[in-house]
Amino acid sequence: MESSSVAVDILSLEQVAESELDEMWSFVRTKKNQRWLWLAIDHETRSVLAFVFGKRKDVVFRKLKALLKPFGISRFYTDDWGTYERNLAGFEHIVSKRNTQRIERKNLNFRTRIKRLCRKTICYSKSVIMHDIVIGLVINILEFGLCIDALIDYCRT
pLDDT tens digit string along 17-48? 999 999 999 988 888 989 999 999 999 999 99
* pTM for the model: 0.80
53 within 8 A of 132, measured Cβ to Cβ: yes
* Beta-carbon contacts of residue 42 (< 8 Å; ≥ 6 apart): 16, 18, 19, 49
- Please report the pLDDT score of residue 157 as a whole number: 60
By CB neighbour count within 10 A (0-12 exposed, 13-18 middle, 19+ buried), where does 53 fall? buried
pLDDT tens-digit map of 45-102: 999 999 999 999 999 999 999 999 999 999 999 999 999 999 998 889 999 999 999 9
Tell me what the mean pLDDT of segment 124-145 comes to.
86
144 φ, ψ (degrees, to nearest 5): -115, 0
Higher per-residue confidence, 21 vs 142 = 21
Q: Domains in the chain, please, with CATH?
A: 18-156 (3.30.420.10)
